[in-house]
A = this chain, B = another copy of it.
Amino acid sequence: MDKESEILERLRGMRAGDPKFEDGKILSSVSTKPLGIAIEAFKIFADTNALDTHIFSKVEELEKECIGWIGNLLHNRLARGYITTGGTEANIFALWVMRENSKKRQIIVPRSAHYSVERAANLLGLEIIPAALDENFKADAGDIERNINENTLGIVLTAGTSALGAVDPVEDVSDLISNSGEKIFLHVDAAFGGFIIPFLKPGIRFDFELENVTSITIDPHKMGMAPIPSGAVLLKNDSLLDKITISPPYLPFKTNTLSGTRSGGAIAATYATLNYIGVDGYEKIVGGCMENTKLLCSELSKLDCVEKAAEPELNIVGIMVSGSDNSEIVKKLGKRGWKVSLNEKPKCIRVVVMPHTSRENILCFIDDLRECTG
């Protein structure tokens, strides 16, 4: 066997040794199997660098179209931003932009925020003022209001928390900001929920249609079904970018992204995914995931000693098994091939119902859960 075949053979063998999305048993991932067309698109642009706009002008064009598509989805055709490597880069970027446009250094962050927000605050030297959650594990707007003061740089809300898919009350908080009379940035981390909430009926207001939302993280590589790496960050307008724009002293352009070299292939893959699926397609995909989530909930209600941590708004369900050590149940489920994880707060088994999970998978999972808790 030649060297090329040998290496690829080994890689295929290794990949075969790990779980596959197609089997429907991965219930702890917020990513899913990307489309063939996206991989093909990646290949076409695999040798391009989105940083080098003077060479690869078409990548810049594709990226603008992606950001336009997403901006449109988020009720702001004029939003500016870029395709990041994921939600963490997007959150760091958004907080960095806030910091560079203000002298204040406190951010109010509900306790359910993604860990990348704490990481970003640590990097950037921002002080986190934690805000409480309500009984549904959403940010408590009243507690946020009490914490707003003249040092408040911004507020970070989540539209689809990592633990439970909870959607913070963005509209209430946007109103609070108007009433406060302070200039406060409002960042919405919709890494997970950004490709779900716009397709729900009835919808939830969480994006740029709300007056005070200044930036949004939204990951095409989560419910947008694009291949990793594909995150996105959008700013309300491009004037916020002035403070972070620089001209590399050896290249003929300005840049304002956090990363330098960026994959043109990932941008092409995102473009292909957005345009191939389209708004109608996402409506169907989200509809299917929500239907399966409802099925999961109704089946759970038939089981003894099982409760939901909260009524899910999106496609994540927290399962609390009373009278048992939940981590033991996760292990037992793991032995049956189910990939589920354990939430710390609240203590529960976390199940994400992604597009790769079918109705049959849910019913099969319920059977196994019944046996593991019985």
Contacts of A1 in B (CB 8 A): none
Q: A33-B47, A229-B263 are in contact. Are A344 and B52 (CB under 8 A)?
A: no
| Docked CA distance A57–B19 (Å) | 9
Are the CB atoms of A52 and B29 closer together than 8 Å? yes
Q: A14-B61, A28-B52, A44-B11 are in contact. Are A249 and B163 (CB under 8 A)?
A: yes
Q: A44-B12, A47-B33, A248-B115 are in contact. Are A58 and B342 (CB under 8 A)?
A: no
Are the CB atoms of A265 and B55 closer together than 8 Å? no
Contacts of A41 in B (CB 8 A): 7-8, 11
**A191: min CB distance to chain B, Å:** 9
Are the CB atoms of A86 and B11 closer together than 8 Å? no
Contacting residues of chain A (26-71) with chain B, CB-CB under 8 angstroms: 26, 28-29, 31-34, 37, 39-49, 52, 54-59, 61-62
Q: A4 interface residue, CB < 8 Å from B?
A: yes
Are the CB atoms of A260 and B33 closer together than 8 Å? no
Within the complex, which residue of B7, B26, B54, B250 is in contact with A163, where a contact is CB–CB below 8 Å? B250
Contacts of A33 in B (CB 8 A): 47
**A173: min CB distance to chain B, Å:** 23
Q: A157 interface residue, CB < 8 Å from B?
A: no
Q: A14-B58, A47-B227 are in contact. Are A258 and B88 (CB under 8 A)?
A: yes
Please name the residue on chain B nearest to A271 by beta carbon: B11
Q: A251 interface residue, CB < 8 Å from B?
A: yes
Q: A109 interface residue, CB < 8 Å from B?
A: no
Q: A180 interface residue, CB < 8 Å from B?
A: no
Contacts of A306 in B (CB 8 A): none
Are the CB atoms of B47 and A259 closer together than 8 Å? no
Assign chain A's interface to a size class.
35 or more
| Docked CA distance A221–B62 (Å) | 22
Are the CB atoms of B344 and A55 closer together than 8 Å? no
Among A18, A85, A261, the most chain B Cβ lie within 10 Å of the Cβ of A261
Q: A275 interface residue, CB < 8 Å from B?
A: yes
Contacting residues of chain A (1-28) with chain B, CB-CB under 8 angstroms: 3-4, 7-8, 11-12, 14-15, 17-21, 26, 28
| Docked CA distance A232–B162 (Å) | 27
| Docked CA distance A15–B41 (Å) | 10
Contacting residues of chain A (79-94) with chain B, CB-CB under 8 angstroms: 85-89, 92
Q: A125 interface residue, CB < 8 Å from B?
A: yes
Contacts of A116 in B (CB 8 A): 260
Are the CB atoms of B125 and A18 closer together than 8 Å? no
| Docked CA distance A124–B95 (Å) | 12
Contacting residues of chain A (88-137) with chain B, CB-CB under 8 angstroms: 88-89, 92, 96, 114-116, 119, 123-125
Within the complex, which residue of B20, B37, B260 is in contact with A7, where a contact is CB–CB below 8 Å? B37
Q: List 11 A-B contacts (CB under 8 A).
A: A14-B62, A19-B56, A26-B55, A34-B47, A49-B228, A85-B262, A86-B262, A116-B260, A125-B125, A228-B261, A250-B343
Interface residues of A (CB under 8 A from B): 3-4, 7-8, 11-12, 14-15, 17-21, 26, 28-29, 31-34, 37, 39-49, 52, 54-59, 61-62, 85-89, 92, 96, 114-116, 119, 123-125, 162-163, 219, 221, 227-229, 231, 246, 248-252, 258-266, 268, 271-272, 275-276, 330, 339, 341-345, 350
Given contacts A18-B56, A54-B339, 19 further A-B contacts (CB under 8 A): A3-B276, A4-B276, A8-B40, A11-B62, A17-B57, A18-B58, A21-B47, A29-B52, A32-B47, A33-B47, A88-B259, A89-B259, A116-B260, A228-B264, A231-B261, A249-B344, A250-B342, A250-B343, A250-B350
